[in-house]
Structure formats: structure tokens, C-alpha cells
Amino acid sequence: MHNAFIKPEHIETMIRRGGKEHSVESLNGPATALVVVDMQIYFMGEGQPSECPIARDIVPNVNRLAEATRRAGGKVIWIQTHSGPDSKDFWSAYYDRMTPENGEKRVTGMEPGGSGFDIWPDLDVRDEDEIVPKTRYSAFLPAPSKLEAVLEENNIDTMLITGVSTCTCCESTARDGMMLNYRTMMISDGCAAPDDDLHNNSINQFYLQFGDVQSTDEVIALLDQNVAAAAAE
């Protein structure tokens, strides 16, 4: 697991700016979605081209968050990267940055049925959840995206971002979500990156400019408070 932290000076900045450390102090369960980004074999399996070993460590937290989100009446959305024969054409700016051999590995590994395509088997994916495809770093691109449609259909206004990698697909999706006016959080111990520096740089910048950052335990507490409040009514 990452040694995740938000710098004290950034917390001071947020308190000066907004009057409090966390911009999210409550969650409305039915309006909340847990968005799990790219937790697929290609990014998690040993020996896979884009293996991020720490992603295997966050699986229990992601499963706990998924259960808490469902318990609160929210939606769990699994983002799954797709590739195909035309990937190198419609995203040539990406594939130009790698050798032809590595580009081919990604295309074949991430196409449906490919060696890295499936969602990691230890994740608790339920029938009532949504599986949403994406083809870029951000699940909101190309726009309008299937993710937008699922969020709108379920009257979601708040997204909890988890998955791999913190500093690429998770942050890209989280930033775009905030820019589309969703209240967006990144879960500090529910995302994984290649190393602590990349992870912490990402969550600190996100915390300063885009949305809140809290831990799995903190977010589950907020979701459970909502459940308790609804039961008391």
C-alpha cells in the first residue's frame, strides 16, 4: 500500500480557501457512485506490460468501498479499458510514443478476450453494478461518454474514484468529472500508482484544485452515516 499523505501546507491552503479541511463532509448514498478505474489483469497481473503491483494491495479497500456504496443505495461502476484493430489510428498521439512491438502488445492485450482485458478476479463485481468501457485515459472521453450516460441515468452527483493508475487514468477521469460539475473525490488508499511519489503528487494536486481526497475508512464512515440517518427518518 502507498504511504499516502496530503502535505500540511496544502491542508492549510484549503482551510484558508474554504474554511475546512475537507470539502466533502457528507454523502447522499443514492446520488453517489464508486468509479473503479482499470482494475484489469493488464494493469495488475504479474509480468503484464503495465503491471502496477500496488494495485493488488488495494483490492480489499475497493471491495469494502463497493459494499458500502451499495449498502447506501449508490452505484458501483467498473471502468474497463478496451482496445482494438483501429486503436492506433484513433489515438495515434498515444501509440506514437511507444515502439510498434509495445503498441501491438497493448492492442492485443486490452482487446476483448485479450490476455489482460478481464477485470481482476478478486474484485467483487455484482450483477447490479455497471461495467463501462473506455478507450482513453479519461472515462469521459471521447465525449459524450457511456460513463456520462450511466451517471445521468442514476441521478449521480458525486463520484468516488478508485483504481489504477492514480496519476493517469484515475486522475484524468476525476479531473474531467469535476470539470463536468460532479462532486469528485479520490480515495487515497483506493488508488495505486507505480510509486509513492507519483501517487502523492497526483492526490495532492487534485486536493488543491479539483476535489476532495479521503481514505477508505473516512469515506465508508460518511456512507454509513447516510444509511443511519435514512433509517432514523
pLDDT-based confidence at 189, cuts 50/70/90? very high
d(CA 116, CA 193): 18
* Tens of pLDDT, residues 110-166: 999 999 999 999 999 999 999 999 999 999 999 989 999 999 999 999 999 999 999
Domain ranges of the chain: 26-82+117-232
d(CA 233, CA 224): 15
Write down the pLDDT at residue 158: 98
User: Lowest-pLDDT range, 10-14, 45-49, 101-105?
Assistant: 101-105
Write down the pLDDT at residue 187: 98
pLDDT-based confidence at 13, cuts 50/70/90? very high
Write down the pLDDT at residue 134: 96
pLDDT-based confidence at 19, cuts 50/70/90? very high
Domain 26-82+117-232 annotated CATH 3.40.50.850:
yes
pLDDT-based confidence at 228, cuts 50/70/90? confident
Whether residue 230 is predicted with pLDDT greater than 80 in this model: the reply is no
Average pLDDT (176-183) is: 98
Average pLDDT (15-33) is: 97
Dihedral of CA 206/207/212/215: which sign?
positive
* Tens of pLDDT, residues 200-226: 999 999 999 999 999 999 999 999 987
* Tens of pLDDT, residues 51-100: 999 999 999 999 999 999 999 999 999 999 999 878 888 889 989 999 99
Write down the pLDDT at residue 193: 98
